[in-house]
Amino acid sequence: MKPRLTCFSPIPPMRSAIGQYTVGLLRDLARFWEVDLWSEMADAEVDGYKIGRFDRQGATLPWSALNDAEATVYHIGNAAEYHGGIWNVLRQHPGILVLHEVHLADFVAAACKLPEFSQTIFSAVELEFGAPAVEELRSAIGSEDIQAVNERFPFYKIFADRATGVVVHCRAAYEEISQYGGRPCIHLDLPHAAEANLSRSDDSTPGRYNFVVVGHIGWNRLLKPIIEALAQFRDRHDWRFDVYGVVAEETTIRLAIDSLGLGDIAILHGFTSEAELRRALASAHLAFNLRYPTMGEASYSQLTLWNHAVPTIVSDVGWYADLPRGSVYHIDPRRTLPELTRAIATFFAEPARFAEMGRLGRQALEARHSPSRYVERLTEFIAATQGAASAQLAAESMAGTIGRRWREIGLPWRGQGRMADRYAEIINDLTGAT
């Protein structure tokens, strides 16, 4: 009998790439685990899987069944409406944290405005960073300053604090969390199946180039400069630009499209079906997958593009900077517009070079992003971390008690070093945590 693994994740029809990732892993996970899926949505469905529905407070969860599982895995990203409830469960029931994005300022900013999460967020930030961090957070809500607050007080720590281990999908995130040192961390390449027999079908207008942007189009996707750069080639080449996915700043983008006279060739499709997206990618000649700043994520969209061998222009930051040279076209995000203009001109001059880039991307997908290998390493990580992580959490609980009691007593913390050493020794005696 296989051990049980509980997963909390957005699940389709939630419009989340993380949901797609979770569903994409199920077949491989089933080789090692009996998987229990939990989602906030009542109508979540995945063929062949029974999905439990949980409420945002986790009040109705069957803790006995969760405790009976070998491990629980939580998927956290920046969309508070999808991941807030998952965080609430993690706070109560420790488990493996898959941190799809490391810079979680957007999550925190959104959660602060949601009545069911706001108080919890402030409490967690205070516990982790102290009262001044809460003050800074309060004054930064609703402005871009929230990113700067996140630089000083990395919000991912309030998630990692209840984790028995952390999984990240990019090197920079791994280095940052390893430096933090609070939890065992592993860097796994984001998985995506490389589908066989995917042919490039050019059913578009002959001689016309199809450009695409796909995924969740947040404010850091640089969509406006992409449109501005493309506009410079309006009269010189035949092209069309399609955006598939929810656009965060849609009004601004539509205004830009109209003002540049691109209304007939730059189309915002919104969230589209899987079938429509596949058709679009099969005939796409170039994709833009820019981020600035990066949120410390790996891009599932990039892997989807590679699956269809679509050449891609990416920002030279974070995970994207680590992509094999030749498999994508890097631009410096600090000079987005001139760099994009140059890249697009290069594309029009050397389309075959870009097509080769798409093929190399596909090879990179096949070589590094196998779901099967991902699941094997995840399974090894879970086995290696559970015992030590429980000990660490117990030790932190005890240390927290000592700290609280000491403050309540109100005695001056004289001889702090010696006292701390003694308490640490005793906690180590009990838990084995170092």
Nearer to another protein, 287 or 433 (CB): 433
Least Cβ distance, residue 413 to another protein (angstroms): 17
Q: What is the DSSP letter of 302?
A: H
Nearer to another protein, 90 or 290 (CB): 90
Cis peptide before 293 (omega within 30 of 0): yes
Nearer to another protein, 141 or 398 (CB): 398
Chain centroid to CA 433: how far? 30
Least Cβ distance, residue 51 to another protein (angstroms): 20
- List the beta strands (DSSP E) in 257-378: 266-270, 286-289, 312-315, 329-331
With vertex at residue 13, the alpha carbon angle to CA 7 and CA 16, rounded to the nearest 5 degrees, is 65
Least Cβ distance, residue 34 to another protein (angstroms): 16
- Distance CA(288)–CA(311), nearest Å, equals 9
With vertex at residue 392, the alpha carbon angle to CA 386 and CA 398, rounded to the nearest 5 degrees, is 140
Least Cβ distance, residue 74 to another protein (angstroms): 13
Evaluate whether 220 touches 248 at the Cβ level (below 8 Å): no
Least Cβ distance, residue 44 to another protein (angstroms): 22
- Distance CA(195)–CA(362), nearest Å, equals 10
Strand 4-8 versus strand 34-39 pairing type: parallel
Question: Distance of CA 403 to CAs 256, 385, 410, Å?
Answer: 55, 26, 11
Nearer to another protein, 110 or 163 (CB): 163
Least Cβ distance, residue 62 to another protein (angstroms): 9
Nearer to another protein, 45 or 396 (CB): 396
- Distance CA(211)–CA(284), nearest Å, equals 6
Least Cβ distance, residue 265 to another protein (angstroms): 54
Nearer to another protein, 193 or 399 (CB): 399
Amino acid identity for residue 238 in this structure: D
Nearer to another protein, 372 or 397 (CB): 397
Name the residues that contact another protein, by CB under 8 A: 58, 61, 63-64, 66-68, 89, 92-94, 387, 390-391, 393-394, 397-398, 401-402, 426-427, 429-432
Least Cβ distance, residue 309 to another protein (angstroms): 45
- Distance CA(143)–CA(158), nearest Å, equals 21
Q: What is the DSSP letter of 49?
A: B
Nearer to another protein, 220 or 392 (CB): 392
Residue 126: burial class (beta carbons within 10 Å; 0-12, 13-18, 19+): middle
- Distance CA(98)–CA(90), nearest Å, equals 11
- Distance CA(149)–CA(427), nearest Å, equals 33
Nearer to another protein, 172 or 398 (CB): 398
